[in-house]
Structure 1
Amino acid sequence: MLQVYNTLSRSLEVFEPVNPGRVLIYVCGPTVYDFSHVGHARTYVAFDVIKRYLRLKGYDVFHVQNITDIDDKIINRAAEERRDWRDVVDEYSRDYLEALKKLRVFVDVHPRVTEHIGEIIEFIQKLIDKGHAYVAPSGSVYFDVDTYDDYGRLSGRLDKKMWSQEEFATEKKNPYDFALWKARKPGEPYWDSPWGPGRPGWHIECSVMSSRYLGKRFDIHGGGSDLIFPHHENERAQSESLFDERPWVKYWMHTGMLQVGGEKMSKSLKNIVPLKDLFKEYDPLVVRLWLASAHYRTVLSFSDDSLQQAQANLQRLRGAAQLVYRLTREVEPSGRLSDAELSVLAELSDIRKSFYESMDQDFNASSAFASAMRLASIIYSQIAAKPSYTTVLYAYKLLDEFNKVLGVMDDVLAELPKELVPVDELINLLVEVRSALRSQKNWELSDYIRARLNELGVILMDEKDKTRWIISPRPK
């Protein structure tokens, strides 16, 4: 039974989607004014893992993740660099989408704010008509927080003194009211509206785009925990006020912060790590595995040690996948199973159970990953030593199942491409030559072949009567 931690209730709840069998997810994407960094990746990979597990459980999942392509930060960056704001958006949108592709995060729809201006204006007008928003003398439109009686519950800020918003404006009824539409300022991009030229406020975009693609009520709204207030609190207020749906979102889910050297990763502390730079040092799959193998709600510490450990884990997992894949082509179906085979099958069954139990407990990927590593150990020790058709096939099935969540072994578990066949034959030839040298006790030359192959990412594993090999990712 899957249980999910709901930020709104601050408790674990049994997961029951609004529409049985179908899960609708909205995750807050980037404001594209700078390069995507590892803090962003933490959220994107975490929700990709959640989505993948839901699909593994049999749910039909639809995932929407927005791109904020008009905002104060974009306008300010364009002014600083003396270029058109659209050029800023194009550059950093490409960077974001390329990073997602490298991290193997695939989103169903990537709506952009500027493509939904008409719907935003319509949404705001309906809030005005219902008495939840008002037009200020400047032409800006604000949400009247006092008209929504459940404000502050998502963030736990129940005292009005805690409701101060980022926007300072003397024309607001209350200091905690927030902008739905911002009146045009000289030199800024704008769109025409019933209240005058201007552009959307930050919070309104997600309410409009989520309802456009997911409806007036959906299952999961995700993002970093730094978005709970004011962004998600404001989204909730304006959406529930317009739709008269409570809860508008059934499960609010938030990822924990990323720390560098014990401090929160932030631009003000100048400790941001852009993904484009990180990918020069580490394979994107290493970064993915590091993020995918952590519980999404934990505070995660960034360090070279943690990434190097992830690199070793990735090598071990992919090596196990390659080994078991090769064994599937060597073993033949058998009849009666031995006691040893039955024992291995029981262990594999227990590992599978542990994996699902972990993920069912609020998507505990850390505990689930331990099950995957335990599987790799059994493949290296017990299955490789005495491979049988049944144990090899079950191990392969489990790796494939776990990888549907982890997403780091797709190419290994799939059938090897034809262009790699000559490489296989060349490696086998080198292994054969090395075996001949070993039989002649020419240790120096045989060790040289092993060392050179290792430098190329080919790991040799000597057994009693043969040598097996796997290809591991080469460190950058």
Structure 2
Amino acid sequence: MGLRLYDTRTRRVRPFVPLRPGHVGVYVCGPTVQSPPHVGHIRTGLAFDLLRRWLTQSGLSVTFVQNVTDIDDKIIINADRAGTTVWELATRQTRAFDEAYRAVGVLPPTISPLATGHIPEMLEMISVLVERGFAYPGAGSVWFRVGAFADYGALSHQRPASMHPSPEAEPGKADPRDFALWKAVKPGEPSWSSPWGPGRPGWHLECSAMAGKYLGGVFDIHGGGLDLVFPHHENERAQTVCAAGGPAGGEMANYWMHIGLLTTGGTKMSKSLGNSFFVTDALATVRPQVLRYHLLSAHYRSSLEYSPQTLDESGAAHDRVETFVRNALDILGGPAEAAALAGTEAGQVGSAGPGTVAGAAADGDLTPELVWSEFAAAMDDDLAVGRALAALFGAVSRGNQVLSKAHSRELAGWVDVTRRMLTVLGLDPVEQWPTAGAELRPALDSVMGILLDLRSSARARRDYTEADSIRSRLAASGVVIEDTPEGQRWHLS
């Protein structure tokens, strides 16, 4: 059937057909770097990271562009309050966003353009809009003429006549619905020269100019948070379509994707409401893998509640999957040995085609490849992550039924398909373990071997008090000991 995606503009799920066979151009509106990232930002980043990983898994080459807005009213205000420069604040917060995305495994963009690095492209676009009658100068600023674009409101499904713009008068603006393409300079603010006087770009203009430069006038997917549909994306679309000659010139993007809001206590999480959780604070209480799992666990278009209870539930679910993979690989001798048994090459999780993974479930009906087919069908259906996770846990359940060396070939098939799904989700623990001090792992394995031998000796002489003491002291240090038919196993809690 192939991938289908919900398009905000047409309000329907449509078959996804790239403009250029084999290649996908994606533009995601990135952060305005006024303050540290909160978990709502990360949810949006993770949703598009999942899309990107699935497109790649499906054999497509992806050019992924995510901008950084490093000049904006809020940045100027916050820099002034902090007694620093706009450039210092923007640079510091850009690094904070990079670190937050990296911590939860978001792949870096193919291109990450800065707004301040593309002023010439913005000025050129404004000139074209003025020449074609879609924009006009006034009081040192330049305004987009909303009334000149008959299709304005088509993305957000609003009628221009029913819109309620701010009643505050702005110098040079002819219609309250019009928006700024270029803002006249104010005392103490950064500015650039232009044919209409010194100033700086309007927020909406930035993305139109950068998307056009790196992906062309029309590209495959444009996305961002649900709160960007209006006015930001509506205005972007208007500028871009009009610069191309009006509706006859074509759309800006073939598909518009928007991510549902993160809530806390049922209320939208936002900095303005004072109920946001900074990523650094979140990661002080929860593992990055668990935060990633939680933020991906709901369909990208739905709202998602963020609370200690929901995080605990996600932690338990993630740990179940991770424990299965860890235990299975311990039994099979490691990733390379498991891959060989499953019929895939080590390090090439997800490369096996239909029928190449051996083994059947205990009931003789369900096979790893059938589970993969269920997972793939869910992902193709507008990234239906709930059904995809159901397939994942189905594989884990089947794998746990054959968790022994006596069923090593079946077990290898189940751990292989589990890791294939986890790779798409960005949650394969084999890929994540090296990030946690890989150089210390051999020494830690050796130390743990000594401690487990001491516990085995205590149990052999029936000194269960000592054996339980060793287990309890390790648990207090964050090390979990499991007694299995295959012997003792340990992992970090």
Alignment partner of 1:203: what SS?
Answer: helix
Aligned partner of 1:350: which letter? L
Distance in 2 (alpha carbons) for counterparts of 1:168 and 1:202: 19
Q: Aligned residue for 1:141? A: 142
Q: Give the aligned length.
A: 469
**1:406-459 CA distances to partner (integer Å, 9 max, x unpaired)?**
212354577895642332233233333323322332221112222233334433
Cα 1:88–1:55 shift into 2, 3 Å: same
Q: Is 1:154 the equivalent of 2:155?
A: yes
TM superposition shift of 1:82: 2.6
C-alpha distance in structure 2 between counterparts of 1:125 and 1:167, whole Å: 27
TM-superposed deviation, 1:313: 2.3
SS in 1 for 2:195: coil
Q: Say whether the 8 Å CA contact 1:165–1:178 is kept in structure 2.
A: no
In the alignment, what sits opposite 2:418?
399
Which residue of the other structure, out of 276, 284, 287, is the alignment partner of 1:283? 287
Give the equivalent residue in structure 2 for 1:350.
Answer: 370
Structure 2 residues not aligned, in runs of 5+: 343-356
Whole-angstrom CA distance in 2 between matches of 1:164 and 1:57: 43
**Residue aligned with 2:6, SS:** strand
Q: Distance in 2 between matches of 1:18 and 1:458?
A: 51
**Offset of residue 122 of structure 1:** 0.9
Aligned AA (2:463): N
* Counterpart selection for 2:472 from 440, 451, 454: 451
Aligned to 1:129: 131
Partner of 1:423: 444
Find 2:301's aligned residue among 292, 297, 307: 297
Q: 1:118–1:159: structure 2 CA closer, same or farther, 3 Å change rule?
A: closer
Q: 1:364 aligned to 2:358?
A: no
Instruction: Answer whether contact 2:27 2:64 (CA < 8 A) is retained.
Output: yes
1:220–1:176 CA distance, 2 compared to 1 (3 A): same
Matches within 5 A, 1:225-240: 225-240=226-241
Taking structure 1 as reference, are residues 166 and 356 closer, same or farther at Cα in structure 2, changes over 3 Å only? farther
1:261 aligns with 2:265: yes
Aligned equivalent of 1:243: 244
Matched, 1:442 2:442: no
Q: Is the 2:141–2:172 Cα contact (8 Å) retained in structure 1?
A: no
Cα contact 2:322–2:429 (8 A) shared by 1: no
**What residue number does 1:270 align with?**
274
**Partner of 1:463 in structure 2?**
484
Q: 1:83-114: CA deviations, max 9, x gaps?
A: 21112112211211111111111222111110
Contact kept, 8 Å, 2:359 with 2:410, in 1: the verdict is no
Q: In the alignment, which of 312, 315, 329 is matched to residue 316 of structure 2?
A: 312
Deviation at 1:51, TM superposition (A): 0.8
1:142-196, Cα deviation, whole Å (9 max, x unpaired): 1111221211011111242316269842522211111000011111110000111
Q: Compared with structure 1, are the counterparts of its residues 32 and 424 closer, same or farther at alpha carbon in structure 2 (3 Å cutoff)?
A: same
Give the distance between the partners of 1:179 and 1:338, measured in 2 at CA: 61
User: Under a length normalisation based on structure 2, what TM-score does the superposition of the two structures give?
Assistant: 0.89
Structure 1 residue 319 displacement after superposition? 1.7
**Structure 1: how far apart are the matches of 2:284 and 2:445?**
28
Q: Evaluate the alpha carbon distance shift between residue 418 and residue 188 of structure 1 in structure 2; reply closer, same or farther with a 3 A threshold.
A: closer
Change in Cα spacing, 1:43 to 1:338, as seen in structure 2 (3 Å) is closer
**In the aligned structure 2, how far is the partner of 1:303 from the partner of 1:32?**
25
SS at match of 2:13: strand
How far apart are residue 19 of structure 1 and its match?
1.0
Give the Cα–Cα distance (whole angstroms) in 1 for the partners of residues 412 and 365 of structure 2.
10
Is contact 2:36-2:278 (8 Å) kept? yes
Distance 1:419 1:282, change over 3 A: closer
* Corresponding letter in the other structure for 2:426: G
- CA distance in structure 1 between the aligned counterparts of 2:165 and 2:279, rounded to whole angstroms: 33
- Percent identity at matched positions? 38
Residue 283 of structure 1: CA displacement?
1.9
Amino acid at match of 1:348: P
Whole-Å separation in 2 of the counterparts to 1:168 and 1:302: 39
List per-residue Cα deviations over 1:199-247 (Å, max 9, x = no partner). 0001000001111111111111111111000000000011011124422
Match of 2:3 in 1: 2
Does the 8 Å contact 1:458/1:470 carry over to 2? Answer: yes
Alignment of 1:69-88 (within 5 A): 69-88=70-89
Whole-Å Cα distance in 2 between the matches of residues 333 and 274 of structure 1? 44
Whole-Å separation in 1 of the counterparts to 2:359 and 2:125: 67
Distance in 2 (CA, whole Å) between partners of 1:190 and 1:18 is 38
Q: Tell me the secondary structure at the aligned position of residue 40 of structure 1.
A: helix
Secondary structure at the counterpart of residue 393 of structure 1: helix
Q: For residue 45 of structure 1, what is the aligned residue in structure 2?
A: 46
Structure 1 SS opposite 2:158:
coil
1:335-386 deviation per Cα after TM superposition (whole angstroms, max 9, x unaligned): xx9997675683423321221121111101222122222322333x222145
Q: Identify the structure with bigger relative contact order (alpha carbons < 8 Å, sequence gap 6+).
A: 1
Conservation of the 8 A alpha-carbon contact between 1:258 and 1:299: yes
Equivalent positions of 1:95-110 (< 5 A) are 95-105=96-106, 106-110=108-112
* Higher deviation after alignment, 403-412 or 357-366: 403-412
**Pair 1:112 & 2:94 matched:** no
Separation in 2, partners of 1:229, 1:134: 22
Partner residue in 1 for 2:349: none
Aligned residue type for 1:157: Q
Q: Taking structure 1 as reference, are residues 387 and 118 closer, same or farther at Cα in structure 2, changes over 3 Å only?
A: farther
Distance in 2, matches of 1:130 and 1:338, equals 63
CA distance in structure 1 between the aligned counterparts of 2:69 and 2:341, rounded to whole angstroms: 55
Distance 2:197 2:45 in 1: 36
Q: Which consecutive unaligned segments of at least 5 residues does structure 1 have?
A: none
Distance 1:418 1:328, change over 3 A: farther
SS at match of 1:281: coil
Native 8 Å contact 1:327 1:387 kept in 2:
no
Could you say which residue in structure 2 is the equivalent of 1:224?
225
8 Å Cα contact 1:4/1:15 also seen in 2: yes
